[in-house]
Amino acid sequence: MCTETAYTLRCEHVISRTLYCSEAPPPSRQMRKERKTCDRVIRNAVPWPPPPQFGTQAACPLANCPFEQRGGYWNCCWCGKEWNEQGRCSCVMIIDRQEYRCGHICCETCEAATES
């Protein structure tokens, strides 16, 4: 069986890796797309942090990742929380005794966190 594993990066984007089994069709020069898996593929999703063999310094595959452009530390444009260290805002707000999580993902509008 082939195995497809989707790893969530620190920035909240996802990178996938595929291990092909002997039943997977061989890559074709005529096909410009990625190699296909066998019919019995296993799919896994791995949250941050990835396992040691993946490497903790996994770079985002997006050329213009807002989180990476801000050096991994950013201020949320939705709720104002400063110094987020992962791609999703970690702010927890309490409104009328209810807990709400911001959950905003770093975007072009969010600013890099800086020392004042």
Q: What is the spatial distance between Cα 37 and Cα 22, in angstroms, rounded to a whole number? A: 10
CB atoms within 10 A of CB 67: 26
58-71 pLDDT per residue, tens: 778 899 999 999 99
Structure tokens at 33: 């797309």
62-114 pLDDT per residue, tens: 999 999 999 999 999 999 999 999 999 999 999 899 999 999 999 999 999 99
- Mention every residue, 6+ apart, whose C-beta is less than 8 A from residue 21: 1, 2, 38
pTM for the whole structure = 0.76
Q: What is the spatial distance between Cα 98 and Cα 57, in angstroms, rounded to a whole number? A: 36
Nearest to 42 by CA among 20, 25, 26: 20
Q: Could you give the 3-state DSSP secondary structure of residue 36?
A: coil
Q: Could you give the 3-state DSSP secondary structure of residue 2?
A: coil
